[in-house]
Chains A and B, each alone.
Chain A
Amino acid sequence: MKLAIEIAERARVVEYAPGATEVLVDGVSIPIEARELRPGVLSLIVAGRAWRVVLEEDATEPAVLIGGERLAYRVDDPRSLKARRAHSGGSDGPKSIKASMPGRVVRVLAAKGESVAAHQGIVVIEAMKMQNELKSPKDGVVAEMRVKPGDTVAAGDVLAVVE
């Protein structure tokens, strides 16, 4: 199958069929031997060079751990109209504020209906004795406040929506 893989803001078109011994990267053939040792753990030999690659998926983005580095990626099936539409997603409209890390809500700094400015603090979450203030992504009004102090949140949870 043909996939557009974007890593560090560079997209590559990668063509690979499961079990194949070559892969096309932007049309260039590269010999590979891939073995998934267990789900999400890959032994990959690319033109003779051996790599261990670990797949990571959390609520925010898929990523691979490789050579001590964590590289997040985006994947689009070039045939998919839906994917392209999602990709180009609009920048206006309501914006949600999500927890980037699991934690506990310690303070809510803006109530529903309140006008807020871009970069104004909205919610403070705490984990492992450290606090993180999540800020409004834009000027607007708090349309939803989904949490209150004491709530436990997971990474990726929507905490509030600003319109």
Chain B
Amino acid sequence: MQEWTGAETGKVWAAGSRGLSVALQWPLPFETQRRVFRKILIANRGEIALRIARACREMGISPVVVYSDADRAALHVLEADEAYRLGPAPAAESYLRGDLLLEIARKSGAEAIHPGYGFLSENADFAEACERAGVKFIGPPAAAMRALGSKTRARQAADRAGMPRTPGSTQGLASLDEAHKVAAEIGYPVMLKAAAGGGGKGMRAVARDEDLKSAFEAAQSEAERAFGSSEVYLEKLIERPRHIEIQVLADEHGHCVYLGERECSVQRRHQKVIEEAPSAVVEPDLRRRMGEAAVRLAQSAGYTNAGTIEFLVDDARNFYFLEMNTRLQVEHPVTELVTGLDLVHLQIQIAQGEPLPLRQEDVQLRGHAMECRVYAEDPDNGFFPSPGKITRLAQPGGPGIREDAGIYEGWVVPMDYDPMLSKLVAYAPTREAAIARLLRALDEYVIGGIRTNLGLFRRILRDADFQAARIDTGYLERLLAEPLPAADGREERERVAAIAAAVFESGRAAAAPAASAETTRAWKRAARAEGLRS
């Protein structure tokens, strides 16, 4: 590996390129520095911290991780070279403590910080603080983050880049009067959104003018509570849209490519549940138009590193800019599988000042990838989170299966963070084969001790509309409103389950020292079950 080379120019860069021929621009712009990281601090937890640590190891970089008190025994701590305590469980006292992270970077000698997703990943102030501290933030510059991070500013940037967006305002609404005026211009139904928003908070669909007042006030107060900013804007509601997003990668030498799309239309309460690449409805021409628009937007804002431009696509295949996520996405593996690229490696190479090792024409999509977000939540109990101890774990494997997980048998899933346990991803030549492969992997997957949404994926993947790719962002809510279909072979499973229960119970009775043990147990159980019902 090369050592830190400062602002050196002119030499052909070889250390990081991955065998693709590249048209290099020399000399490098003055401000571009070529660096080689020996240590990277991963400012995150769970599966993404582990995924980044793996990339570091593959590149000969030493991964440094951090943990809160709730995560001392987490998998990412076990898999790191160095681990440092941040603080108590609440994120505000641990994973959001930028000052502590920079202190740990200094102490450990990490030259760069990878923020993962969530937490500080889209925090421009933190990116700036890293810059000031001389630690490379693996992501876009703070200025680009600011230009694209707020939804209203991103809409202005979209206009400058000539990118189609939903009709509506590009600035926060100053008053209810203004909201009425904009809504009248674009016509109902409309959508109110928080400028600083995300995750569906501060969002209200409004069908009629008389409902606007209460929705406007509710969206404002929700936005204020969730994001500390009550700025809301208004846009035309697209009916039954698909959520399709474009992955871009930009280096620090002005090169930017798009890596095709991901379709993330299967959502519940604006949270993605299943993602896939490619989308069943995106033809090469649409992909090129969306991709080129995405690249224009990224370049107009001086964007570097990995980013995602989200679009809504209507029935007529018109696409509208939604927002830009200025970080690595949860669902990046599906893009990796169909492009054969490693996005985290590329993020690190870009942050090291290397030029992109590929041109647009080198990007080829092959096969189909589909991802399930496995959550600790109970679909039978209103999707309420289910933290707790994982008493049994059997993880799927075999051809075409990738699982990015942050769990192990015996681990206690903390109640303090996001309920995502793992991402189960299948890759196959066709969409149909990817679905079959995911169903097969789901049958191999056992997570005991806590409730999970594994059963929900079986239901979706067997649904005729999903199989035919008749999906939009309202698809899952409609499916969940339908009665549960009768499962094939249910009767047989129940009979076998009864036999298994008898085997477990009799085995225990035989092992128990006292003759009446089984009776006591059964009685205790019955009493417990009764207590729950009452």
Q: Does B bind A? A: yes
How many angstroms between the C-alpha atoms of A103 and B378 in the bound complex?
A: 14
Taking A56-B392, A62-B501, A67-B489 as contacts, is the C-beta distance between A80 and B519 under 8 angstroms? yes
Q: Are B526 and A40 in contact (CB under 8 A)?
A: no
Contact of B506 with A by CB under 8 A: yes
Q: Are A3 and B526 in contact (CB under 8 A)?
A: no
Q: Are A5 and B529 in contact (CB under 8 A)?
A: no
How many angstroms between the C-alpha atoms of A80 and B462 in the bound complex?
A: 44
Contact of B5 with A by CB under 8 A: no
**Closest approach, in angstroms, between the C-beta of B483 and any C-beta of chain A?**
16
Among the 9-residue stretches B258-266, B276-284, B331-339, B379-387, the one with 4 or more Cβ atoms under 8 Å from chain A is: B379-387
Contact of B131 with A by CB under 8 A: no
Contact of A109 with B by CB under 8 A: no
A-B contact pairs, 30 of them (CB 8 A): A1-B505, A3-B501, A7-B501, A14-B501, A14-B502, A15-B502, A16-B506, A18-B506, A40-B392, A41-B392, A44-B500, A46-B496, A55-B500, A56-B448, A61-B528, A62-B525, A66-B493, A68-B458, A70-B455, A71-B497, A73-B498, A80-B522, A83-B519, A83-B522, A98-B532, A101-B378, A102-B388, A129-B385, A137-B534, A152-B415
Q: Are A155 and B388 in contact (CB under 8 A)?
A: yes
**Closest approach, in angstroms, between the C-beta of B447 and any C-beta of chain A?**
8
Give the contacts of A80-118 with B (CB-CB under 8 A).
Answer: 80, 82-83, 86-87, 89, 91, 95-96, 98, 100-104
How many angstroms between the C-alpha atoms of A152 and B416 in the bound complex?
A: 11
Contact of B30 with A by CB under 8 A: no
CB-contact partner of A8 in B458, B494, B507, B527, under 8 A:
B494
Taking A30-B499, A66-B500, A67-B443 as contacts, is the C-beta distance between A3 and B505 under 8 angstroms? yes
Contact of B487 with A by CB under 8 A: yes
Instruction: Give the number of residues in B that approach A within 8 Å (Cβ atoms).
Output: 61
Q: Are A98 and B531 in contact (CB under 8 A)?
A: yes
Q: Are B496 and A74 in contact (CB under 8 A)?
A: no
- B interface footprint on A24-64 (CB within 8 Å = 1, 0 otherwise): 01000010101010001110101001011111101111101
Q: Are A68 and B443 in contact (CB under 8 A)?
A: yes
Question: Within 8 Å CB of B381, what residues of A?
Answer: 100-101
Question: Within 8 Å CB of A30, what residues of B?
Answer: 499
**Closest approach, in angstroms, between the C-beta of A21 and any C-beta of chain B?**
12
Q: Are B455 and A69 in contact (CB under 8 A)?
A: yes
Question: Within 8 Å CB of B382, what residues of A?
Answer: 132
**Closest approach, in angstroms, between the C-beta of A75 and any C-beta of chain B?**
5
**Closest approach, in angstroms, between the C-beta of A91 and any C-beta of chain B?**
7
Q: Are B534 and A128 in contact (CB under 8 A)?
A: no
Q: Are A128 and B392 in contact (CB under 8 A)?
A: no
Q: Are A56 and B391 in contact (CB under 8 A)?
A: yes
Count of A-B residue pairs with CB < 8 Å:
205
CB-contact partner of B504 in A42, A83, A156, under 8 A:
A42
Majority secondary structure, B binding face: helix
Contact of B107 with A by CB under 8 A: no
Majority secondary structure, A binding face: strand
How many angstroms between the C-alpha atoms of A52 and B396 in the bound complex?
A: 14
Question: Within 8 Å CB of A70, what residues of B?
Answer: 451, 455
Q: Are B498 and A7 in contact (CB under 8 A)?
A: yes
Contact of B120 with A by CB under 8 A: no
Q: Are A3 and B502 in contact (CB under 8 A)?
A: yes
How many angstroms between the C-alpha atoms of A82 and B519 in the bound complex?
A: 8
CB-contact partner of B523 in A34, A58, A83, A102, under 8 A:
A83
Q: Are A55 and B504 in contact (CB under 8 A)?
A: yes
Question: Within 8 Å CB of A130, what residues of B?
Answer: 383-385
CB-contact partner of B496 in A1, A44, A104, A129, under 8 A:
A44
How many angstroms between the C-alpha atoms of A156 and B376 in the bound complex?
A: 17
**Closest approach, in angstroms, between the C-beta of A95 and any C-beta of chain B?**
5
How many angstroms between the C-alpha atoms of A51 and B495 in the bound complex?
A: 12
Question: Within 8 Å CB of A17, what residues of B?
Answer: 506
Question: Within 8 Å CB of B527, what residues of A?
Answer: 86, 89
Contact of B367 with A by CB under 8 A: no
Knowing that A8-B494, A86-B526 touch, tell me 18 more A-B residue pairs with CB under 8 angstroms: A3-B506, A5-B502, A7-B501, A44-B500, A54-B446, A56-B391, A61-B529, A64-B500, A73-B497, A83-B522, A86-B527, A87-B526, A101-B381, A102-B415, A130-B383, A132-B384, A137-B534, A152-B415
Q: Are B534 and A129 in contact (CB under 8 A)?
A: no
> Which residue of chain B has the shortest Cβ distance to A23 in the bound complex?
B499
Contact of B530 with A by CB under 8 A: yes
Question: Within 8 Å CB of A151, what residues of B?
Answer: none
How many angstroms between the C-alpha atoms of A130 and B417 in the bound complex?
A: 10
How many angstroms between the C-alpha atoms of A44 and B495 in the bound complex?
A: 12
Taking A54-B392, A102-B387 as contacts, is the C-beta distance between A74 and B526 under 8 angstroms? yes
> Which residue of chain A has the shortest Cβ distance to B531 in the bound complex?
A96
Question: Within 8 Å CB of A32, what residues of B?
Answer: 499, 503
Q: Are B493 and A71 in contact (CB under 8 A)?
A: yes
**Closest approach, in angstroms, between the C-beta of A135 and any C-beta of chain B?**
13
> Which residue of chain A has the shortest Cβ distance to B532 in the bound complex?
A60
CB-contact partner of B499 in A46, A82, A89, A132, under 8 A:
A46
Contact of B449 with A by CB under 8 A: yes
Contact of B518 with A by CB under 8 A: yes
How many angstroms between the C-alpha atoms of A75 and B528 in the bound complex?
A: 12
CB-contact partner of B501 in A64, A83, A137, under 8 A:
A64
Taking A67-B443, A96-B531 as contacts, is the C-beta distance between A53 and B502 under 8 angstroms? no
> Which residue of chain A has the shortest Cβ distance to B492 in the bound complex?
A49
Q: Are A7 and B415 in contact (CB under 8 A)?
A: no
Question: Within 8 Å CB of A15, what residues of B?
Answer: 502
Question: Within 8 Å CB of B458, what residues of A?
Answer: 68
Taking A16-B499, A53-B500 as contacts, is the C-beta distance between A71 and B505 under 8 angstroms? no
Question: Within 8 Å CB of B522, what residues of A?
Answer: 3, 75-77, 80, 83
> Which residue of chain A has the shortest Cβ distance to B452 in the bound complex?
A70
Q: Are A75 and B507 in contact (CB under 8 A)?
A: no
Q: Are A127 and B497 in contact (CB under 8 A)?
A: no
> Which residue of chain A has the shortest Cβ distance to B519 in the bound complex?
A80
**Closest approach, in angstroms, between the C-beta of B468 and any C-beta of chain A?**
23
Q: Are A67 and B392 in contact (CB under 8 A)?
A: no
Taking A14-B502, A60-B528, A128-B376 as contacts, is the C-beta distance between A101 and B385 under 8 angstroms? yes
**Closest approach, in angstroms, between the C-beta of A44 and any C-beta of chain B?**
6
CB-contact partner of A10 in B378, B494, B526, under 8 A:
B494
Q: Are A23 and B526 in contact (CB under 8 A)?
A: no
Give the contacts of B356-392 with A (CB-CB under 8 A).
Answer: 376-378, 381-388, 391-392
Question: Within 8 Å CB of B510, what residues of A?
Answer: 18
